[in-house]
């Protein structure tokens, strides 16, 4: 028996990316159906969240619910990164139970009007010439056919929608298991670089931790280990920080999964978009995958809303989404190469060398203002700074607006303290001091905000000293 359903938008996948984009699109008055293959709560990798994510969760209206959950608060991680020295790194954020975390987000999506069909695994996706998608899924022993005008792939690393995906770094494979502890360790995280792998231990609660090992997949197939558990256990012995844990010797099943960084060559089209890991999966070393999935899904919702309801801005919206994706690819590539190369200094082994190979070429040349800004200093705008019409996100759609471009900025900036950048720049004249600029801005921003903006422009080398570069 088949059931047919009609909708504006079909979202495949109910992880953080899928739940977020569907709730935002529903709040923007679109009809959304979300298909999730698993019943929630279910286990999922990606448990470590930083405090930065709180702002996104507040924005989505689930911040308070998450804070009330008994998720473990992070305080400090013990780090041994290549050398014999260990250091304690203060950390904020949480180790969440992803089963519960994802359930909270999907519940919020349902409350926002999203029709969630779960557990329903997508079987096939057909794109008809008349710009219609037909998605076939199984739900409670029945086949459902969903006819949608727009498709969102939020199915994580498995990426349901076909299309070329590019590996952004050498392959990485993760092995992980939950261990019981006889006593609570002093730190809630342990991170260590070994010869052919790195280790990440995250405390889940008073008596359990997850120990993950990240290695090159070729080592597993070539070293004669008959199974993942064998490889995992024998490699853990090489990590000295594991010995600081009071493990009771009993652990659950060892799971293995691909953890390579990949991005999609076509993140957005006329009637489809990819979000979260289905679009860009980052190296887990950054512990930012969930944050990125939430963040891109919030932006993607506005892009989809523009494509559906503001076709005159469709091209601008697609450029916006592609540009944001490219920025993130560059940013995370640089960041992870830097972390791998820090360990590679003391670990001259192929695992580390391969991953830090282009550390130098990947590092952005930073032009740093070494001098501090003084009140009497005469300033001018750096000749490399340009105001260019650029796609920016408005309330419900994407449109072109003037934005500041400068090699020191990781992305164009259209607003500072809610003020249009071109308006602020309109008042600049060569040779002004901070006092002069604040005086000209007095109808726009308070003195405190104005000072912060000038400081930021100075630190990013957008404002420079008049004397600079003239000798
Ligand atoms: C080993 C490892 C450790 C990590 N550690 C961290 C960490 O500590 N912190 C962090 O922030 N990030 C971490 N990440 C990354 C993080 O897990 C992901 O970035 C994040 O889960 C992405 O969210 P998503 O919604 O895009 O995808 P997912 O969370 O993977 O959600 C995709 C959903 O789609 C569903 N689905 C898949 N196929 C179908 C289908 N055909 N039909 C219907 N539904 C489908 C799945 O069941 C799933 O619920 C880690 C990743 C790995 C691999």
Torsion of CA 322, 324, 326, 329, to 10 degrees: -130
189 close to ligand 1 (CB < 6 Angstrom): no
39 close to ligand 1 (CB < 6 Angstrom): no
Model pLDDT for residues 187-208, shown as the tens digit of each residue: 999 999 999 999 999 999 999 9
Ligand 1 centroid to 78 CA: how many Å?
26
pLDDT, residue 469, reads 52
Ligand 1 centroid to 344 CA: how many Å?
29
Q: Which atom of ligand 1 is nearest to the CA of 291?
A: 11
Model pLDDT for residues 219-231, shown as the tens digit of each residue: 987 665 568 888 9
Mutation pick for ligand 1 pocket among 11, 39, 46, 104 (CB with most ligand atoms within 8 Å): 46
Residue 356 has pLDDT above 70, yes or no: yes
pLDDT, residue 380, reads 94
Kindly report the average pLDDT of the chain as a whole number.
92
Residue 367 has pLDDT above 50, yes or no: no
Give which of 12, 9, 92, 5 is closest to 48, Cα–Cα: 92
279 close to ligand 1 (CB < 6 Angstrom): no
12 close to ligand 1 (CB < 6 Angstrom): yes
Model pLDDT for residues 329-354, shown as the tens digit of each residue: 999 999 999 999 999 999 999 999 99
160 close to ligand 1 (CB < 6 Angstrom): yes
Report residue 147's pLDDT band, with 50, 70 and 90 as the boundaries: very high
CA end-to-end distance (rounded Å), the chain:
80
Contact in structure between 411 and 400 (CB atoms under 8 Å) = no
Contact in structure between 95 and 5 (CB atoms under 8 Å) = no
Residue 361 has pLDDT above 60, yes or no: no
Model pLDDT for residues 294-321, shown as the tens digit of each residue: 999 999 999 999 999 999 999 999 999 9
Average pLDDT rounded to a whole number, residues 427-439: 92
Percent of the chain having pLDDT more than 90? 85
Average pLDDT rounded to a whole number, residues 97-106: 97
- Residue whose CA is at the smallest distance from ligand 1 atom 5: 46
Average pLDDT rounded to a whole number, residues 373-393: 91
Contact in structure between 200 and 212 (CB atoms under 8 Å) = yes
């Amino acid at each position: 028996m088949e059931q047919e359903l009609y909708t504006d938008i079909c979202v495949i996948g109910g992880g953080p990316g899928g739940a977020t984009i569907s709730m935002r699109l529903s709040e923007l008055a679109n009809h959304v159906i979300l298909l999730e293959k698993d019943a929630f709560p279910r286990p999922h990798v990606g448990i470590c969240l930083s405090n930065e994510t709180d702002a996104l969760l507040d924005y989505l209206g689930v911040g308070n619910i998450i804070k009330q959950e008994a998720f473990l608060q992070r305080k400090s991680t013990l780090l041994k990164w290549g050398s014999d020295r260990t250091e304690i790194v203060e950390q904020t954020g949480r180790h969440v139970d992803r089963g519960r975390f994802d359930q909270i987000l999907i519940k919020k999506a349902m409350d926002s009007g999203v029709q969630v069909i779960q557990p329903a695994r997508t079987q096939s996706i057909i794109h008809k010439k008349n710009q219609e998608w037909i998605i076939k899924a199984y739900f409670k022993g029945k086949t459902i056919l969903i006819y949608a005008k727009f498709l969102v792939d939020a199915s994580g690393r498995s990426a349901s929608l076909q299309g070329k995906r590019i590996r952004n770094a050498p392959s990485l494979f993760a092995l992980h298991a939950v261990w019981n502890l006889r006593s609570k360790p002093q730190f809630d995280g342990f991170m260590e670089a070994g010869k052919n792998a790195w280790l990440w231990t995250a405390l889940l609660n008073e008596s359990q931790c997850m120990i993950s090992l990240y290695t090159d997949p070729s080592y597993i197939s070539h070293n004669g280990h008959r199974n993942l558990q064998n490889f995992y256990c024998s490699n853990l012995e090489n990590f000295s920080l594991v010995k600081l844990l009071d493990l009771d010797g009993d652990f659950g099943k060892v799971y293995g999964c691909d953890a390579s960084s990949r991005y999609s060559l076509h993140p957005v089209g006329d009637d489809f978009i990819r979000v979260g890991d289905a679009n860009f999966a980052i190296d887990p070393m950054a512990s930012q995958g969930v944050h990125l999935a939430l963040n891109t899904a919030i932006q993607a919702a506005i892009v989809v809303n523009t494509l559906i309801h503001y076709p005159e801005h469709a091209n601008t919206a697609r450029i916006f989404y592609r540009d944001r994706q490219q920025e993130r690819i560059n940013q995370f590539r640089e960041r992870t190469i830097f972390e791998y190369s820090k360990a590679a200094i003391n670990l001259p082994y192929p695992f580390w060398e391969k991953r830090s190979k282009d550390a130098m070429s990947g590092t952005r040349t930073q032009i740093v203002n070494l001098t501090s800004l003084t009140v009497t200093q005469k300033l001018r705008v750096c000749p490399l700074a340009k105001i260019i019409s650029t796609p920016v996100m408005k309330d419900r759609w994407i449109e072109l607006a003037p934005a500041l471009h400068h090699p020191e900025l990781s992305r164009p900036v259209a607003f500072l303290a809610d003020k249009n950048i071109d308006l602020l720049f309109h008042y600049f004249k060569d040779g002004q001091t901070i006092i002069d600029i604040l005086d000209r801005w007095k109808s726009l921003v308070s003195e405190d905000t104005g000072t912060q903006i000038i400081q930021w422009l100075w630190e990013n080398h957008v404002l420079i000293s008049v004397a600079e570069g003239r000798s």
